[in-house]
Structure 1
Amino acid sequence: MPGPASRHRSLPPRKRLSRALRGLLPRGLLGRSLLIILLPMVVLQAVALQAFYGGHLNIISRRLAGGVAGDVGMVVELLRREPADSQGWIFREAAWRLDLNLAFERGATLGPVQPRPASLPLLPLEEDLDQALSERVRLPFDTDWQTDSRSVIIRVQLPEGVLHVEAPRKRLFTTTLYFFVLWLVGTALIVFTVAALFMKNQVRAIRRLAAAAEAFGTGRDPGPIKPEGATEVRQAAAAFNRMQERIRRFIAQRTEMLAGISHDLRTPLTRMRLGLAMLPREAEGDAAELTQDVEEMERMIASYLVFARGEAVEQPRPGDLVQLVQEVAANARRAGADVEVAAPEGLVLPMRADALRRCLGNLLDNARRHARRMAVGVAAVPREAGGHWAEITVDDDGPGIPQAAREAAFRPFASFSGGGTGLGLAISRDIVRAHGGEIVLEESPMGGLRARLRLPV
């Protein structure tokens, strides 16, 4: 059978790309909301930065470099035209009027130009200056950006020697870039902080609503939650509170109605039991059979009432699942069952101990009526969403239930053996689901039926 990797490779390229992009997206609402807010802003900032680099910065850089190169070219031309004894005033005027410090090294020659790493790799200053000097000086030259952090040293090869020109970097560099970058980064940080704080508050309200729904779904009563957050979240919280109240009222009415029915039925059954007890000795044989029927009817009424209540009165508390399973198995052994238990030393989880004891008791009673041997296993298995499940398996060597009929076995009053009330599996599923878990029926390695329970730890 091909694995997930081979199935992924068999997908069309477009679907593979779509799946890869979905894998990169944040899974949480907070991360996705921030991505929706920040991604357009980052794109807008990138467009603005590119426009600045591609337009304004390049134009300003070329103009500043052209100005310095033009001054250097003018000084070079003056030195070439004026006699050597009058070059002093050129040096003084260049320092005063052009802010260029000049020095002449007579008889020197420029060596081969060695490639140097750019001192400002993100800016076009060095390239623009070299281009401007090539156009306006038209003599061999090189530039040095590393020796002095505040100046650029330009060396030009003249016939009599090498002219050293020290130009301040402020003539080639504009501080507008710093302010622009600070503005981009600062506004991005401010927007990100405000969006994160705002969305965190909104997501907190949704998380509280989800936690309350999860608690109510597993049988815990968190009470009404305080509506907070955006209008839609407040509406959802208010609707959840109304739903809780309606469900509580429905359960209470159903329980009270069935409790009344149970009481009304038990009254004539009690009279029948008393009447049977007062029969003469000659009728004890027939009375015994009738007494068994009355006791069976009382057990049925008790089962109906337990099913209607759904064990909702008991509140979950931390308990040792392994100890509870051992107790239920011991009770089944006293009733004549052959039960083996395989479990770790302990497994603590929040549970309704009485309800879970009833659930496991129903499963073992069902297995005992149809099988000779039973085995109960307890283990912790990982959950896909994180954490672990507490898994309980109840196996038997009985005839089992056909696969097509296993789901129907959980319906109330369903019976496949002709015995019992048909409520055992229905009550068991009701209890397991009230814990936030699930129960399924499978084929057992022992040849019969396996009931697999999973409860959240």
Structure 2
Amino acid sequence: MDSAHGDESRPLARQGWRRARERLIRRILPRSLLGRMLLIGFIPLLVTQAISLELFYGNYLQIVSRRLSGNMVTTISMTLDMLERYPSPADRQWILDDMGRRADMVMTWHEGASLQRSGTNHVLGPIDDYLVRDLRDNVPWPSFVDWKRPHRHMVILVQVPGGILQVVALRKRLDVAPVWLFVAWASGSALVLFLIAALFMRNQVRAIRRLARAAELFGLGRDTVPIVPEGAQEIRKAAVAFNRMRDRINRFVEQRTTVLAGVSHDLRTPLTRLRLSLAMFPRKGLVQAADLQPDITDMIGDIAEMERMIEGYLSFARGEGAEVPVVIRVEEMFEEIGTTQRRMGTDMTIGMVMPPDLTITGRSNALRRVLNNVVENARNHASRIELSAERARGQVILYVDDNGCGVEESRRESVFRPFESGKEGGTGLGLAIARDIIHAHGGHISLETGPLGGARVRIVLPE
């Protein structure tokens, strides 16, 4: 049992580790397209420079350092061999002067001195390593290399029987060109190439951003002119395709609006004739046939109901696409709706609007119609209605609260469907029209439990 449980837990552990690693990578990597494109271009460039630095400069530095240190150690070894062969003071001084002059070094003999340290005090890489190794391989006596001398000099001390041989030479005899110079050149060239690539990528990403912004504005109904194709060939094709799609949609909406306007006129005409015929019905006949009066009154009511239903259907199908978006002050819109509703006997109050100068960009008549539809729906089930608004995280949130019986949580989504909210009277299109308009503005509408005890309609719109 334990073994089986362990076998099952291992895949889960690996899956959890994989998800954690993916989250970490997503958190580290840039989110924008420009950042990822720059990263795609920068990493290969950086890797290429690092490889070239290692293969070219690393090998070059090692080869040259070995040869320079080998030459210097060979000179010192030859000098020590000659000093051992000719130990007299006169010969020793002549050997030191002659070898120093020929090798461009200063050689000094310290009679009876002893070496205090061995090895080296250098900390910078292969040059000193090669020198110490060559001294150990070619000189059979202890030695010490002192790099910390002024004026870019170095001192090599060799302990031999009877004293110490001191060799002073310039460090440039072993130094190759400074490593930082090559690194600076490689880094500088990489940075210049990266900046040039960034400029080109930025232009391409700017075209994509303009296309995305145009698509967003078109979805919100705020587009004014077609976008200008720019950037790479594929981005230009996408911009041209977007402009064609935009024109087709606008043409379709315009044709649909024109057809629906004609349908509205054609449907109202026979209803108007029926209404006029009933209104002009002879009064004398009504007196003689008093039992027909209720039927005529019912027919007039049915005609009015049909006109209201037709207007609701046409409004739902027609939408508000032809209206031009403008900047709307939320408080002024609330006051206009409140004034209209109070004239109709509605107990309506205007709650807090934060900030007081809160504005939204949208179709004014369409948004007023949304609020009127929501308020009319609330008035059928409540005696008090309150409007309020606030700004939150770059969005404008409108609230319509009532003190009615509320809406069950299971029905809060279905009441926005066409004909669903009309089961208790009406056409059932008010909330459906409201949701259609809000979605056309790039927003969202939902039902919640309100602070007044009834329902709360929450409308979220982009600022």
Specify if TM > 0.5.
Answer: yes
Q: Does 1:102 align with 2:107?
A: yes
1:324 equivalent in alignment to 2:333: yes
Tell me the alpha carbon deviations over residues 68-90 of structure 1, each in whole angstroms, 9 at most, x when there is no partner. Answer: 22222222333343321233332
> CA offset at residue 390 of structure 1?
1.0
In the alignment, structure 2 segments of 5+ residues that lack a partner are 1-11
Shift of 1:447: 4.4
Secondary structure at 1:346 match in 2: coil
- Rounded to whole Å, the distance in 2 between the matches of 1:149 and 1:212 is 67
Partner of 1:206: 208
Cα distance, 1:278 vs structure 2: 3.6
1:59 to 59, 63, 72: 63
Q: Is the 8 A contact 1:255 1:305 kept in 2?
A: no
Report the count of equivalent residues: 442
**Which residue in 1 is equivalent to 2:6?**
none
Shift of 1:52: 4.1
Task: Give identity over the alignment, percent.
Answer: 46
Contact 1:323/1:346 (CA < 8 Å) preserved in 2? no
CA separation of 1:114 and 1:64: change in aligned 2, threshold 3 A: closer
Deviates most, 50-59 or 357-366: 50-59
Structure 1 counterpart of 2:267: 265
CA-atom RMSD, angstroms?
A: 3.0
Q: What is the CA-CA distance between 1:335 and the residue it aligns to?
A: 2.2
Q: TM-score, normalised by structure 1?
A: 0.86
For 1:78, the equivalent position in structure 2 comes to 82
Matched, 1:378 2:378: no
Query: Does the 8 A contact of 1:393 with 1:452 survive in 2?
Result: yes
- Asked if the contact 1:212–1:222 (Cα under 8 Å) also holds between the matched residues in 2, the reply is no
Tell whether the 8 Å contact from 1:376 to 1:394 is kept in structure 2 after alignment.
yes
Q: Which amino acid aligns with 2:345?
A: G
> If the length of structure 2 is used for normalisation, what is the TM-score?
0.85
| Matched residue, 1:413 | 419
Task: State the partner residue of 2:433.
Answer: 427
Q: Could you give the per-residue CA deviations for residues 136-188 of structure 1, whole angstroms, max 9, x where no partner exists?
A: 23333322223235332222334444433222223212238567535532442
The answer as to 2:399 corresponding to 1:397 is: no
Equivalent AA in structure 1 for residue 379 of structure 2: R
Distance 1:101 1:309, change over 3 A: farther
Provide closer, same or farther for how the CA distance between residues 375 and 65 of structure 1 changes in structure 2, counting only shifts above 3 A.
Answer: same
- Distance change (3 Å), C-alpha of 1:78 and 1:114: closer
- Give the letter for the 1:43 counterpart: V
Q: Deviations over 1:362-402 (max 9, x none)?
A: 111101111223333312222xxxxx211122233334444
Compared with structure 1, are the counterparts of its residues 416 and 298 closer, same or farther at alpha carbon in structure 2 (3 Å cutoff)? closer
Match in the other structure for 2:166: 164
CA contact (8 A) 2:69 2:131 kept: yes
Q: Could you tell me whether the CA contact under 8 Å between 1:150 and 1:169 is conserved in 2?
A: yes
- Confirm whether residue 45 of structure 1 aligns to residue 49 of structure 2: yes
Deviation at 1:28, TM superposition (A): 1.1
Distance (Å, rounded) in 1 between the aligned partners of 2:321 and 2:414? 24
Amino acid at match of 1:420: G
In 2, the alpha carbon distance for the partners of 1:114 and 1:320 equals 83
Is 1:342–2:346 an aligned residue pair?
A: no
Q: Is the 8 A contact 2:226 2:243 kept in 1?
A: yes
Equivalent position amino acid for 1:342 in 2? M
Larger displacement relative to structure 2 (180-189 or 209-218)? 180-189
Deviation sequence 1:264-303 (CA, Å, 0-9, x none)? 2222333344344444396887665544444443333433
Query: In 1, distance between residues paired with 2:15 and 2:143?
Result: 60
For 2:275 and 2:140, the matched residues in 1 are separated by 125
**Which of the residues 429, 433, 442 maps onto 1:436?**
442
